[in-house]
Structure 1
């Protein structure tokens, strides 16, 4: 069972960190101004790094250079250099309060210009300003989006260079969700207006309609050039007209650190107050549930200075008459947009149980448990036992099985029930409760290899009123247990064998191997295994956050890319949706990889025992004698991706049938598959998904096909997985391969048998 050991509080406080931005702010954002903003309720302010005077001098420098070039015969003048900043060029100074400021790079530069002079000047401005902001102790710097005609590669290269100018500076690239920015540059000429015409002619035939994903594609180019640097973030402008839900979900998966709300995003309610539409509110609620929710930036919603009249410290107190006259007038709200966001903060919907349970562990990578080789701690067992669904479903399955067996077993003897891998005994308790509720007597056995848990089981058997010393507690690896002994000391058979050996990918904690090893004690004619079957499921996902985290992890040999991680996936996007999915539901295309059924066919186990002794056939295909080769699996699954995207790995889930009654047709199931979990085991928290990473992300074109290959391998001593992803595109009726990942293999981190 794979999950986090976190035990967060049931209630989680939602906090909005809201700032104020003016595109034409030129005044010095002093400590007094910051204090005024905080008095209004703002948490931070933006501040331009340089002044209009600097803009004027740079434009003059460019114009002068262009003129000299036009008058020169050689046209080989060296590119112009911007002189160092002077006190007149910037009002920003080193200050402890700079943590409350977001510095804004001059929005009039054009980093991706086709004109080498403009691109060169723009890079100098960017580097000068970022370096100076870093010197002043500002850790957050806002950079405006590339112009519509800009080269995204050139822009990305310039940003990548600027990331190295300050060890603690984060660059926030301001981009719209789609289309063009509504947050415009404030004053004077934009350097793009001074650019020379490009040397090449635009292809007039290449006038295809703009795609909603064009801005995202630009961002993908920029962050790829910057190697998914965690110092590179998104400042995402939320417009009044939101893009399609697919694109919203794609942006949600990206490292958004600022949500920017221009004044035009708001609408007016019946009373004339600014509010946001329901879709906008839902977007905010989703981002607010992230492990690190983005800050919010109100842009051009009103001038900050003068919004509230703060009297000077020497001003006399108002007279009683003045105070009375002022109270008669209802003051105008100076910050209605901010007030509305604070209202949304207080009215956020409650989080689902899985998010409350895993708070702080969203997208946190953990290596899967190895319960066969490791003895778990009590706190780990305790986390599993907090699940409000799993054990109740197990009890239902046991109760249905007891009723069926009571009809099948002819004599009136108690039904023999064994819990293999009892842990601290939650399934034992559920079996006893099922016996009480059905009136079917049982003879209960608890088998546990963990010597520490064995002590607790014995104590519980002696002190728990429900157990009342009626449980037979056995210390043994289930695979070596001879079975329940009768009064004559002879080994008997078990009627119901109960286990909870499933991992996040169903079989990744060696449930098939363990249950094969203990199956010899199960009654051959009517023995029931709970669970009866389970299946592993896959879907490709985009998760830049996790990929970025893995890039920063130390570890030689690249082994970090060959580990299937247990993770509460949170900030990600499905790349392939079900054909039956609606735009509102966005049902992912999750497909089955393979399945296991218990009890295993006796003929299969007989053949495996023969191979284990070297008496049947050739050795196994990947080592050993092949005795466990019947538990090998493989799959080849195709996923169609309607939208372009980047695959960072595969998300894995499982479904299991605990028990299905042939007599009544009742079926008790558990699922972590997002498609079926709500109908089969809603609010279950025992298992987080599993994630198979790709060392090199694979780009998938619009309408492309992803072919996922996966293998469950074994050498009779261990079990591991191998996976690879191919990408195909269809053009002119021909299918062609356009990409392929490196093969991942967890052999060095295999689960030991």
Structure 2
């Protein structure tokens, strides 16, 4: 209902009664509603030009008039997005050229290209001729060829057509790293359960849930064939708050830059991390001093880089003779006595990316030869990912520096293409005279062959740490500590995305280089052609 609407005055007609409308048309929207809630569709004429005329070589002499017919409707201002028809096969150069021309002067409106979610396992039998061109069996390749012709434009997105049959889970998973804005499910994909209600197959249900988890709109299309029940309740307040951090790129250097009080406040709310550290310290104290000697032995425990932690409050709360606060650089401070237990929290999202090895090497002289370090070791991990949104956000800066920066980010719209692989492991204390913090590693990733072709935008990084014995802490997906939010994964972007064909081995060389003023990472990717 439009509260500002008032029925227009009409001439009184006493011969018959007339019922005037009590509300305005559904099309009476404010400009902000048009630009944020309405998605337009191309007209049937524009669709015919796009699909059959623009890329027809026999009509090349008249392409220019057709292009103008296409450009004018798409350049209408004020809509949130416009839905475009599916290209007919990979031979769509002129179609892409027309859209790329539109994209250069489009304003804020997005263009959603309809792409079927299809990958033929049996190329000859399973191909859908309505969508696929000759020799083309993977709709992702259709999208990728079109996207490349439009130069990865950030306003070109995908609307997936969900068919009654689905490809393999690996093939479907790669789409979550693409700019998918909507999933269109036709009503004929629904089944009827025993009670007569519409339902989706188990695979379709899991896919739809994944769409919701990745903030992808689900659209029901087609003629209604069931009675639709009342839907579930919406997202709670926590989900809306978390949504602000998803896929948000952060570049942090805690050793170089002082963290804000708000950042420390967020860290201090992570009770899981402190609980794990408490367990590790408690076990170390018990192992260090037997119960029968506890009252006679004094244990020296040093906490390095305690931030603004609760320990700083204890000297004013009756612990004057127990806790001493020292404000100094651990690499330059001389300890009056050695410690039995050395506790530190210098871990970054990649384990060593906040210079924990360099800092602890300088502080190792504080520890007794038989002393305990918490953490005792940590390992970094990486995996290749498709992350179109992150790539476009970095690309928007239009410089090389941002592509050579590692970002901390809560990964959301990404496709994890292979299992994680361990990269570097650091152990503390480290008394070997030959050890160096400069490392290199060669990794091999096997992307499942049923995934199909993929585009790698970069690598996601994680860590796993052993605090003490069996007390563990980390964000590596397969062993991540539940309900811990102090660390988000790290993202290493590639300057140019790399397309990997099915069955192609992926070899990655990763280096940790140590300099006098900085510790950069370098990586090299090698693709081997399969016979």
Give, in angstroms, the shift of residue 406 of structure 1: 0.5
Could you tell me whether the CA contact under 8 Å between 2:289 and 2:297 is conserved in 1? no
Q: Which of 43, 63, 72 does residue 131 from structure 1 map onto?
A: 72
Specify the alignment match of 1:283 in structure 2.
207
Q: Which of 468, 471, 478 does residue 330 from structure 2 map onto?
A: 478
Quote the Cα distance in structure 2 between the aligned partners of 1:533 and 1:408.
Answer: 27
Which one has the largest radius of gyration?
1
- Is 1:386 matched up with 2:192? no
Specify the alignment match of 1:234 in structure 2.
158
Quote the Cα distance in structure 1 between the aligned partners of 2:507 and 2:291.
Answer: 47
Give, in angstroms, the shift of residue 650 of structure 1: 1.1
Give the 3 Å change call, closer, same or farther, for CA 256–670 of structure 1 in structure 2: same
Specify the alignment match of 1:145 in structure 2.
86
Greater shift in the superposed pair: 533-542 or 629-638: 629-638
Q: Which of 619, 638, 651 does residue 444 from structure 2 map onto?
A: 638
Aligned residues: 495
Could you tell me whether the CA contact under 8 Å between 1:156 and 1:221 is conserved in 2? no
Q: Which of 241, 256, 275 does residue 180 from structure 2 map onto?
A: 256
Give, in angstroms, the shift of residue 127 of structure 1: 4.3
Could you tell me whether the CA contact under 8 Å between 2:208 and 2:218 is conserved in 1? no
Give, in angstroms, the shift of residue 347 of structure 1: 7.2
TM-score (norm 1): 0.60
Q: Which of 250, 254, 265 does residue 366 from structure 1 map onto?
A: 250
Specify the alignment match of 2:40 in structure 1.
103
Give the 3 Å change call, closer, same or farther, for CA 574–152 of structure 1 in structure 2: farther
Could you tell me whether the CA contact under 8 Å between 1:131 and 1:165 is conserved in 2? no
Give, in angstroms, the shift of residue 632 of structure 1: 0.6
Structure 1, unaligned runs of 5 or more: 1-30, 39-43, 45-93, 186-201, 303-334, 429-456, 484-490, 577-588, 605-628, 661-666, 732-753
Quote the Cα distance in structure 1 between the aligned partners of 2:154 and 2:111.
Answer: 10
Q: CA RMSD in A?
A: 3.4
Greater shift in the superposed pair: 396-405 or 359-368: 359-368
- Is 1:568 matched up with 2:410? yes
Quote the Cα distance in structure 1 between the aligned partners of 2:32 and 2:484.
Answer: 46
Q: Which of 459, 465, 487 does residue 656 from structure 1 map onto?
A: 465
Give the 3 Å change call, closer, same or farther, for CA 508–35 of structure 1 in structure 2: same
Q: Which of 488, 506, 531 does residue 688 from structure 1 map onto?
A: 488
Specify the alignment match of 2:519 in structure 1.
719
1:3-23 superposed Cα distances (whole Å, 9 cap, x missing partner) = xxxxxxxxxxxxxxxxxxxxx
Specify the alignment match of 2:472 in structure 1.
669
- Is 1:544 matched up with 2:388? yes
Could you tell me whether the CA contact under 8 Å between 2:338 and 2:367 is conserved in 1? yes
- Is 1:220 matched up with 2:144? yes
Specify the alignment match of 2:107 in structure 1.
167
Give, in angstroms, the shift of residue 108 of structure 1: 2.7
Quote the Cα distance in structure 1 between the aligned partners of 2:143 and 2:23.
Answer: 34
- Is 1:298 matched up with 2:226? no
Could you tell me whether the CA contact under 8 Å between 2:97 and 2:149 is conserved in 1? yes
Quote the Cα distance in structure 2 between the aligned partners of 1:336 and 1:719.
Answer: 61
Give the 3 Å change call, closer, same or farther, for CA 725–279 of structure 1 in structure 2: same
Q: Helix, strand or coil: the match of 1:539?
A: strand
Quote the Cα distance in structure 2 between the aligned partners of 1:637 and 1:560.
Answer: 25
Give, in angstroms, the shift of residue 251 of structure 1: 1.6
Question: What does 1:275-424 correspond to in 2, within 5 Å?
Answer: 275-290=199-214, 293-302=215-224, 339-340=228-229, 343=231, 345-346=232-233, 358-368=242-252, 370-407=253-290, 412-424=296-308
Give, in angstroms, the shift of residue 120 of structure 1: 6.8
Give the 3 Å change call, closer, same or farther, for CA 174–121 of structure 1 in structure 2: farther
Quote the Cα distance in structure 2 between the aligned partners of 1:178 and 1:123.
Answer: 33
- Is 1:535 matched up with 2:365? no
Give, in angstroms, the shift of residue 719 of structure 1: 1.2
Give, in angstroms, the shift of residue 285 of structure 1: 2.4
Give, in angstroms, the shift of residue 372 of structure 1: 2.3
Quote the Cα distance in structure 1 between the aligned partners of 2:483 and 2:50.
Answer: 50
Give, in angstroms, the shift of residue 263 of structure 1: 1.9
TM-score (norm 2): 0.84
Q: Which of 572, 590, 601 does residue 420 from structure 2 map onto?
A: 590
Q: Helix, strand or coil: the match of 1:242?
A: coil
Give, in angstroms, the shift of residue 103 of structure 1: 2.5
Could you tell me whether the CA contact under 8 Å between 1:505 and 1:690 is conserved in 2? yes
Give the 3 Å change call, closer, same or farther, for CA 218–372 of structure 1 in structure 2: same
Give, in angstroms, the shift of residue 405 of structure 1: 0.4
Q: Which of 348, 354, 358 does residue 503 from structure 1 map onto?
A: 348
Q: Which of 420, 426, 431 does residue 601 from structure 1 map onto?
A: 431
Give, in angstroms, the shift of residue 554 of structure 1: 4.3
Quote the Cα distance in structure 2 between the aligned partners of 1:272 and 1:182.
Answer: 30
Give the 3 Å change call, closer, same or farther, for CA 719–396 of structure 1 in structure 2: same
Could you tell me whether the CA contact under 8 Å between 2:117 and 2:162 is conserved in 1? yes
Give the 3 Å change call, closer, same or farther, for CA 570–160 of structure 1 in structure 2: same
- Is 1:273 matched up with 2:197? yes
1:667-726 superposed Cα distances (whole Å, 9 cap, x missing partner) = 11112111222xxx2222111111111001111110011111111111233211111211
Could you tell me whether the CA contact under 8 Å between 2:457 and 2:497 is conserved in 1? yes
Give the 3 Å change call, closer, same or farther, for CA 172–262 of structure 1 in structure 2: same
Quote the Cα distance in structure 1 between the aligned partners of 2:23 and 2:95.
Answer: 34
Quote the Cα distance in structure 2 between the aligned partners of 1:715 and 1:725.
Answer: 23
1:471-514 superposed Cα distances (whole Å, 9 cap, x missing partner) = 1111111122222xxxxxxx211000000001011111111111
Give, in angstroms, the shift of residue 380 of structure 1: 1.1
Could you tell me whether the CA contact under 8 Å between 2:71 and 2:98 is conserved in 1? no
